[in-house]
Structure 1
Amino acid sequence: MKRHLFRPMAVACIITAVLAATGCAPSAKIPVLRPAEVNLKGANKVAIGTARGRGGREVADLLTSKLFATGKFEVLDRDNLGRLMEEHKLNLSGVVDQDTAVELGKFIGAAVLATVNVSTYNFTRSDSYGEVWKDKEGKSHRTYYKKGKATVTATFKITSLTSGKILAVKTITKEKSDKNSATDVWPESPDRTRLLGIATNATVDRFIKMIAPYTEYVTVKFAKNDKKVPEMEQGVNFAKAGLWDKALERFQTAVKNHPSHAGAWWNLGLAYEYTNQFTEAIDAFGRANTIKSCPKCLQEINNVKRRESERKKLADQGAL
């Protein structure tokens, strides 16, 4: 019996040893600045206008705090906006009118007005239970479930207070679900407030990405380390620490010493890409593909072109 058990265990050990020896391709998560979908360059203030619908107050308050957190805008909340409009005898509900918007802009300066209409702010709950099952002692049991789902739909509108023109309109829907279970008794219901809060947060976050540059973390996958090319691992370690300039130097040395190593060229391409040297990055990925057919190199070239386009948008938005 022991002899038969040994064989699969031995195979497992061998597989583990092989995997440990070959290793996995190293990777790193790095921050990438993405441009806003709508260019609000020149508008340094955002006035928070009307917030209609059930949940409108919650959405508007969260929008105010998140806009402030971007550091890109001076934010005029609804209370201050209301006082300002009252002083100048302007009707808040009429701000969407082009003439009224321009009139308000005279007092606020270069700004945009953000309004929100919440059409859905719901929480639904459903109860269910499973089939009867037996434990090891033969006792019968049943599992009970309570599921909760929060749904938030909001339409955001951005109006220029310089021209009175509508710059952007976006309807966003976000959902968040949760389920609790218990044996032989009904569990507690999922937390309504928490789920609505998460859905509201996701809705506002999506809108913020429309009007303000944002940071997104992406996973960068390097070529497998090669003991014959120590500069590759050295460069990866620098990249993981965020020292891309030093990583670039090591990868340049790697391709200089090993010009036919596709992995070294791949890593060099990544270093060029994430130091915003896009022409050089495309050339490096092309060299890697020439040495060894590399579909991912061609895909990465498209990613480089996308990043180059995004950098131009970021510059135009005054984010660089």
Structure 2
Amino acid sequence: MAFLSSRRRRARLVLALDDPALDRLLKALLATTRTGTIATTDLCSAQISRLMDEETDDWDRHTQRMSVLAHCLSETHVPRAWTAREPGNARARVLHAWSLLVRARAQRSLADGNTIAQNCFRAAELAPQDPTPWVVLLGLARLERRGQPEAFGIWNEVLARDRWNREAYLGMLRYLGPDEMGSRIQVLDFVDAVRARAPENAPCTATELTAQVLQYHSVLALGGVEALMARNHWTHVEAAQVLDRAAHTWARPGFLHHAAALADLNLLAYALIAAERRHDARPVFEAIGGQVVSWPWSVGGEPVAEYEKARSRTTIGG
């Protein structure tokens, strides 16, 4: 993993994680969209296509890159205009659909559900092996609060193309939670099934820890005495065992090698600090090297400031 380093670095928010090619693309897209010229969309789409052409069949990295691009371009005209210019381009259609989904989540209002679905189904026809149209359809099913048979059907379409797709597993985890269309019991059953079947370093490895962090956040959200005692969540046997497994393996050089590994290490560092396991958190912070992702740090405030505050605590006690 390129980001592993023992040097203490100044913390910064990273959208591209440890993907230098994607980072260069995001900077190029920002510079291009600022020009305001009539050729902006053509240039942006060419820059995106050039990067995507390098991936071959690495669906894990492809999904991660599509997710980042959709979030970064959701407030621009680029995805829609690219699709209009190249209606037979599956990547353009997925990016358009995903950017609309990101916008709908941010606005908490779904005005383009049909457009999202149509783009995804057409993209699936154009690129049958690509899991990302189905990843976006799963996100749409969550937003529309579709029933579980339909959601699981879409989820299985993703898995048929990319068995351990991180985005799909984390999406289903939230869908099965009490805040969406499931319950705490269904979350536990889902997590048990993932732990029993998935390799320890699969791209979806953070599903179990994410479930624990979401449960911890649900206690914090109660406020009052419950929030003050939320740290006790990590003393429960199940939560402590999840942290043990991750803390003992994830920060090892080369153990995690999926595209969003850096995001998972941020999650682990956050959980270890919440559990007051500062000694265990130190090597994780070293592995992160100051490269911060928004969630879960944003739950407590500004992500970089929260990260720095947490990292400083690892120098105090054990």
TM-score (ref. length: structure 1): 0.27
Specify the structure having the higher radius of gyration (Cα).
Answer: 1
TM-score by length of 2: 0.27
